[in-house]
Amino acid sequence: MTNDIFQMLGNRVLSYREALDSFDRAVIFGAGGAGQHACRYLQDNNKEVLFFCDNSKNKEGAKLDSIKIMPPEALRNNTDLVVVIASGWSRDIALQLKTLGVKRYYDFTDIVYLYQPGGIESDIWGDHFNASLIRESSEQIDKVYESLADDESKHVFSGVLKYRLTMDPSFLEISAYPQYYHPEVRPEINDVIVDAGAWKGDVSIDFARYLKNKCKIYAFEPSVGNINDMKLEIIKASVKDAVIPVHMGVWDIEKEFRLNTQAGFDQGFYLDEHGEEAIQLTSLNTFSITNNIDFSLIKMDVEGAEIEALKGASNILSTKHPRLQICVYHKSEDLWEIPLFLQQYYPKGNFYFGHHGQHLHESVLYVSSSLSAHANI
């Protein structure tokens, strides 16, 4: 499968550095915060920014960083220009650029969103656009593809690969169902749920409302600021009987660690031994035994710590086989390493793949066990 994709894409395959080196000047589509980061990033890499484009009529004719903002129609007669996409609406913009006849465009949204003027470039997302890594991992990637339970999952999975190989988000296929509500792996009445990486409780609260509070949700969040906000949101949403805040992160063992809180937004805090905030980590195995809890559904979005957190749930996975909703996009190799890791615990399970965002974020692996039972809402 992977080799077929390489052959189909031909000379469109490139890394993000190769994309950057392929032009000297560009237009930025997106005149917001991401666009501003992209402008500084390009200028620091000795690229000329010709102008911004944006779909907002209110921005038309204004300037951002002293550079004029033009309507998208300005591209129709300049189809040879390179366009750098920097927006949360990457896929929609790519499809729009196609209708305008633009031939060369690259989505740099995730590359630039942490970038600061004069700062050191962060490859936290750059390695996702690494054709060499994908080629080297093709055997593993093919195993994951073949393990997926339906054609929709395979189609969405191959779309993500094509996007990573070209930086063209028009290849992305957005799953038809809402995130965390796959028809076969959704929250059910009487579930006992782990929400690992709960942030301020948005998913936990949504689950509780969906289940009419007929569930128990253990919402793990290591950040003190986020956990305090979560407690307030739980009260406001009237779900305090269903959602239990747990002020810890999840890992493979119990330990004290630190959290990097400089990501630019509190939804993206991640584990870092040099981080600003001291936190407590636990394993789901330990938490389950200590509190005498059997989990039936695990949702996990823990900013790149998914493999370690799943190792810390090994006893639960091997004996209880809870349904799983695991984010597989924080590290490039998560896309194939996490599914392959889980296959040892779910040899007869059904693996589904969903993508719920317009760029790199929100790829989710859904796993249902043959031992799982559904309840009606």
Residue pLDDT, tens place only, 64-87? 999 999 999 999 978 789 999 999
How do residues 294-347 score in pLDDT, each as one tens digit?
999 999 999 899 999 999 999 999 999 999 999 999 999 999 999 999 999 999
Query: H or E element: which one contains 219?
Result: strand 216-220
- Show the domains of the chain with their CATH numbers: 15-135 (3.40.50.720), 143-368 (3.40.50.150)
Please answer whether residues 64 and 87 qualify as being in contact, where contact means their C-beta atoms are separated by less than 8 angstroms.
Answer: no
The CA distance from 31 to 25, in Å, is 17
Taking the alpha carbons at both ends of the chain, their separation in whole angstroms is: 38
For the stretch 124-162, pLDDT in tens is: 788 999 999 999 999 999 999 999 999 999 999 999 999
For the cut 60, the answer to whether the pLDDT of residue 54 exceeds it is yes
Mean pLDDT, the chain, as a whole number? 92
The Cα 143–Cα 164 span in angstroms is 18
Go through the chain and tell me how many residues it has.
Answer: 377
Mean pLDDT of 48-73: 97
Residue 54 CA to residue 71 CA, distance in Å, equals 6
The model's pTM: 0.93
DSSP alpha helix (H) spans, the chain: 2-9, 16-21, 33-44, 90-99, 109-112, 131-136, 138-147, 151-166, 202-210, 224-236, 284-291, 306-311, 314-319, 334-343
Q: What is the mean pLDDT of residues 270-281?
A: 67
The full DSSP string for 93-133 is HHHHHHHTT--EEEE-HHHHTT--TTPPPP-TTGGGG-HHH
Instruction: State residue 266's pLDDT score.
Output: 43
- What 8-state DSSP symbol labels residue 69? E
CA 211 to chain centroid, in Å, comes to: 25
